[in-house]
Amino acid sequence: MTMKSRILILIVLAVAFCGMAGVASQGPPQQKVFASASDPDINIRKMCGQPPPPGVSAAEWELTCDSCTSMPTTKEASADGSVMTSHSCDGHYEVRIHVVSGKKSAPGTMRPIMKGGGLGADRPPAKQVGEIPEVEQTLTRYDAAYPFMNEKQVIMGETTIGGRRELYNDEGLFDIMELQRLALERASTARESIKIMGEFATKYGYGDWGECLTVGDGNEVWHFEIFGAGAVEKGAVWAAVRIPAGHVGVSANRPRIPELKLEDKDNYMASENVFQVAKDMGWWKQGEPFVFHKAYSGSGSLGSTRREWRVLSTMAPSLKLDPWDQNPPFTVKAEIKVGPRDLMRLHRDYYQGTDFDASQGGVAGPFGSPNRWGAATRPPEGFMGFERTISVHQCSYTTVIQARSWLPAWIGGVVWFANDDAKTSPFAPLYAGNTRIPEAYEIGTRAEFDRRSAWWSSNFVGNWANLNFGAMIQDIRESYTGIEDRLFAQQPVVEKVALELYKQDPNAAREYITGYSNRVTKDTIDAWWKLADTLVVKYQDAGGGLAGTQRQRAQYPKDWLEKNGYGTMKNPNAPPPAVVKEPVKEPIKK
């Protein structure tokens, strides 16, 4: 063997040895490591709908419920044939919204399951707790604390409903926000959305407190409620009821689904275990009517039923519903033709003109503020604390959403979006077909004041109004009414142009409505910052900083002063009051 041959053999052996060493060093394929589904950072307890804990009165517990209100409305009840729903996201939640574009994925692609988050940039973010196979094509959707619409004009509202503690299982991989994202990525109808959410929650586990979603499309709207399946089983219990034609419903932080009639498949859906779990837990006996909300919740609270009364009695005043009734109707047949502005008014409501008007009474202060902070004491047992109104100052955003079957989905789906508290904020339109939104909606954190943020414009106005709510709310209402009047007047013209464009080129129509909504939402944000500056100047030093006839100095109302001891403290150094002598009357001469 020549020297050259020996060198070649050594090279071959060296390469082979190194290759084997490389394979050995790689070991088995690396397993993906996910966060624990029970991680405390992603399982922040939601208190709404829960019974009061030991040592806390029912009255005090009412105001811990910072969560939401939703008003599903059928197309037969609406003024123009729209299916509508709504959502006030009440509490410390994410204030940024985004358009998430649909995407195409190769076979074998996995979709991460994210859990937690949704509370804002200043709170812990969502973490990946698992994965599922991705579909070939996802749909474009809106993302927010609670996602609300996709490009097929599937629309959603949300409220936390608590339920029985025994049902909660934080080992479940899905929370409600991730179920919403999944459904909006994949579903073209409300029914399909509910089936997707039910299927994946059952298979991978629902690890959140009880939740209600009001889910609609251009033809119908459903009331969907879901809970965990208990500490032993990592699954879900859920049911859904179609809102009857011509009716309006409401969800206000407690389970509401009545008796299930699953033989009527057009109007009812539920998980396979819906009866068995209730039976096993002793919450229902075979042979009794199966009332879903009684089995899985128990009693409600006035913080919920008062809001239900306000919505339902507004829609059907002839029923003369009792505001103290703890079991109001599930839905009512609307006696008015309901438009999006009717839902906006309700989301701005604090029971004006009723015995429960939050702008009245001593706690409202001299200037009639309906906003309530915490109470340092508890009311006596059997008495109420503050009213939990529909509109609350701690709201993160409000949506009123329309789905219209007679229009292409990109044009037919429109969300009227208001930042922060609706009673001190304007609504402006964003369409299902939007490919982008203004940056001002995509930025902002409660931890840092930012004039670039749309949310901060509304939050500032709302907080500034607390200085003299009774006066400033007049300026605020005038401003948002003027903005919304213009937007609603423009809507049919804009959509007529968009529809004509759509017939020629759908993508051109999509760009047109994207451009329009971006322009008017930017104008709305600018107008609200201008209003903020105006309020600062107009009401400086209680309104005394302006000259002449512009001056509107605030004055404490007479009745409020009298009730609060004004003028009752005696000055010991004050001279005695002057004695006024009666004039002597001279006798009349005859």
Tens-digit pLDDT profile for residues 403-439? 999 999 999 999 999 999 999 999 999 999 999 999 9
Residue 31: predicted pLDDT: 61
Of 140, 90, 92, nearest in space to 118 by CA: 92
Query: 72 with 221: CB under 8 angstroms?
Result: yes
Tell me, rounded to whole angstroms, the distance of Cα 338 from its chain centroid. 20
Closest C-alpha to 308, from 292, 293, 291, 330: 330
Assess whether pLDDT exceeds 60 at residue 304. yes
Q: Is the dihedral of CA 276, 280, 286, 291 positive or negative?
A: negative
Ramachandran angles phi, psi of 155, nearest 5°: -125, 150
pLDDT at position 271: 98
Place of tokens 């949704």: 118
Q: Is the dihedral of CA 254, 257, 259, 260 positive or negative?
A: negative
Query: Is residue 208 classed as helix, strand or coil in its secondary structure?
Result: coil
- pLDDT value at position 329? 97
Q: What is the pLDDT of residues 502-532, one digit of tens each?
A: 999 999 999 999 999 999 999 999 999 999 9
Which tokens belong to 92? 């410390």
**Residues 20-28: what's their mean pLDDT?**
40
Q: What is the pLDDT of residue 16?
A: 42
For the stretch 439-488, pLDDT in tens is 999 999 999 999 999 999 999 999 999 999 999 999 999 999 999 999 99
Q: Is 247 within 8 Å of 221 (Cβ atoms)?
A: no
| Spatial distance between the Cα atoms of 71 and 252, rounded to a whole number of angstroms | 9
At 17, the pLDDT band (50, 70, 90 cuts) reads very low
Q: Tell me what pLDDT residue 24 has.
A: 35
The set of residues, in sequence order, having a beta carbon less than 8 Å from that of 82 and lying 6+ positions away, is: 73, 75, 340, 402, 403, 404
What pairs with residue 399 in β-bridges? 87, 417
- What burial class does residue 517 get, using C-beta atoms within 10 Å of its C-beta: 0-12 exposed, 13-18 middle, 19+ buried? buried
Q: Is 290 helix (H, G, I), strand (E, B) or coil?
A: coil
User: What tokens were used for 451?
Assistant: 């004039």
Cα(267)–Cα(43) distance, rounded to whole angstroms?
A: 33
Asked if 431 and 414 touch (Cβ cutoff 8 Å), the reply is: yes
pLDDT for the residue numbered 22? 39
Whether the per-residue pLDDT at 54 is higher than 90: the answer is: no
Give the model's pLDDT for residue 60.
45
**Which is more confident, 177 or 38?**
177
* pLDDT value of residue 550: 66
pTM exceeds 0.85, yes or no: yes
SS3 156: strand
Give residue 232's pLDDT band: very low, low, confident or very high (50, 70, 90). confident
- DSSP 8-state secondary structure symbol assigned to residue 262: T
User: 232-247: string of b/e by CB count within 10 Å (b at 16+)?
Assistant: ebbbbbbbbbbbbeeb
pLDDT above 70 as % of the chain: 89
Q: Report whether pLDDT(580) > 80.
A: no
| pLDDT score, position 23 | 34
